Amino acid sequence: MESVLVLLACVALAVADTCESPVQRKNFTSLSNEEKLAWLDAEVCLTTHDAVFGLYDGATTLWDEQQYLHLTMSNYIHGVGQFLPWHRYYMTLHEKLLQTYCNYTGGMPYWDEQVDADNITLSSVWDSVYGIGGDGNSSDSQIVTDGPFAYMELHVGAWSFNTVIPKTATYHLNRSISSMTFQSASQSAVDECFALGSYEEAWQCYGQGPHSAGHAGTGGTMQDPVLSPGDPVFFLHHTNLDRLWWEWQSVNLTARLIDMGGQNVPTDEFNSANNWDAPGANFTDYSGDPGNVTTLTHVLSMYEMIPNVTVADVMDVGGDVICVEYV
């Protein structure tokens, strides 16, 4: 009887009240030119808006602050069970920053990379007027020199590649797009993940091919796992990854809205490969989990840029916390 009550409590936690007016998240390539420009204007606004939250002296803009958040939590949010829920909530943070500080009225677009995977460089995402600009300039340190983010300056760095210790720095957005690497984000790779039956299997699969391909295939800033939110494509990419997880959940909502697992601390091998130390007690002591297994009560922190929630709160994209629908 006790186990039944625990299960019912978990279901109650996971199934949030349905929001009345979900925000529509659309495929970027299906947006009208006016919709693309409205989103791009809001993104550019975040790159110039003064910092609001006082997270780090080197973070001078809201863009810097959201990048700092990801940087300093990288060894706690990757290679672990909260990887997909944390990034789901991070996309909500980004969407709310656009709406609150930059007057954006739409939902965060996603980029269906699977459609473009075979001809990635021809995607309209890279357009210089109605997109985020193209590849880095090979004769200018791979700096992005076209589009709305041309010569964009970033102000939060890391002490060395992958390291989660921040430093104040000034550098430019750069890319080195690889069509071959992007092919690991193909529909067939997604289908392999979609066919898996448990969250513990699925999150690791989605985190490998479809997720890693977008980062490594874009290269440059996106390829650094701690600094990657410096590139606007990060948010198109991760909103798509969230859409893929939601499609997997939607196969069986009764079971998959409460299906969570994975370790809370990355393995030593994972940390070593990324040149990361293990996350400190400032994170692990407040995880909300009694052990090294991610549960629905795991706390998702955004450094109070938006309120802390639990994994259970974000399991349903149509619930009050996320309140979106993918179209």
What is the residue-wise DSSP string for 66-133? HHHHHHHHHHHHSSSTTHHHHHHHHHHHHHHHHHHHH---SPPPB--HHHHGGGGGG-GGG-TTTSS-
CA pair distance 252, 260, nearest whole angstrom: 14
Average pLDDT value for residue range 268-294: 95
Give a yes or no: residue 2 inside a domain: no
Instruction: Say what the pLDDT of residue 17 is.
Output: 61
Query: Does 326 fall in a domain?
Result: no
Number of domains the chain contains: 1
Evaluate whether residue 41 is within a structural domain. Answer: yes
* 76 falls within a domain: yes
Structure tokens at 18: 């349905």
Sign of the C-alpha dihedral, residues 281, 275, 220, 131? negative
Asked, for residue 318, whether it belongs to a domain, the answer is no
Domain span holding position 233: 25-302
Q: What is the pLDDT of residue 110?
A: 98
The whole-angstrom separation of Cα 149 and Cα 151 is 6
Residue 93 lies in a domain: yes
Whether residue 9 is predicted with pLDDT greater than 60 in this model: the reply is no
Residue 307 falls within a domain, yes or no?
Answer: no
**91 domain-assigned:** yes
Q: How confident is the model at residue 4 (pLDDT cuts 50, 70, 90)?
A: very low
For residue 159, what is the domain's CATH number? 1.10.1280.10
Predicted confidence band of residue 88 (pLDDT cuts 50, 70, 90): very high
**Read out DSSP for 40-57?**
HHHHHHHHHSBP-S---T
- Residue 33 in this model has a pLDDT that exceeds 60: yes
